[in-house]
Amino acid sequence: MLAAFASLLLCQLAGEAIVRAAALPVPGPVVGMVLLFALMLLRAPLPAETNGTADGLLKHLSLLFVPAGVGVVQNVALLGDTGLRLVAVVVLGTIITLTVTALTFAGVARLMRVADAAPDDEAAP
């Protein structure tokens, strides 16, 4: 558990260093995720409990957004007198984005599966 957590922190630290050195427009932890993924692909000898520790952290991912969420409530005055319209844009924009993204994903997946399955379909009675 401890060695596993240290390995997550090491990936994050390396990610932060790379981001700073190369002036990348990405947060360090995202690069850290890519590094850990690369290490796993290369079958690097990671601590035995890396999987369990990662799952434990992700299980409570919601908790980790509470401090930032409280900050938003404190800063709600920033929305000003346009607050209602800003919230309307956020809600409608999010619904549009969710719908477009999910339908595109599922639509392309279905098209490709139809193409893959075509020979079977022909063979079927």
Partner 1 sequence: MIDFVNLWVYLSGSPLLWLTVTLTAYAIAEAIAAACRRHPLANPVLIAVVLVSLLLIASGTPYPAYFAGAQFVHFLLGPATVALAVPLMRHLPQVRRTLVPMLVALAVGSFAAIVSAVLLAKAFGLDRAAQLALAPKSATAAIAMGIADKTGGDPALTAVLVVLTGITGAIVVTPLMNALRLKNYAARGFAAGLASHGIGTARAFQVDPLAGTFAGIALGLNGLLTALLVPLLVGWLVG
**CA 24 to CA 3: how far, in whole Å?**
28
Residue with tokens 């035995």: 48
Q: Which is nearer to partner 1, 17 or 76 (CB)?
A: 76
Taking a C-beta distance cutoff of 8 angstroms, is the pair 53, 70 a contact? no
**Residue 3 lies near partner 1 (rule: CB under 8 A):** no
Rounded to the nearest whole angstrom, what is the least distance from the CB of residue 26 to partner 1 in the complex?
A: 6
Residues between 91 and 120 that touch partner 1 (CB under 8 A): 91-109, 112
Taking a C-beta distance cutoff of 8 angstroms, is the pair 16, 35 a contact? no
Q: Which is nearer to partner 1, 17 or 70 (CB)?
A: 70
Q: Which is nearer to partner 1, 63 or 123 (CB)?
A: 63
**Residue 44 lies near partner 1 (rule: CB under 8 A):** no
**CA 78 to CA 72: how far, in whole Å?**
9
Q: Which one among 65, 114, 117, 118 touches partner 1, defined by CB under 8 A?
A: 65
**CA 11 to CA 7: how far, in whole Å?**
6
Rounded to the nearest whole angstrom, what is the least distance from the CB of residue 123 to partner 1 in the complex?
A: 22
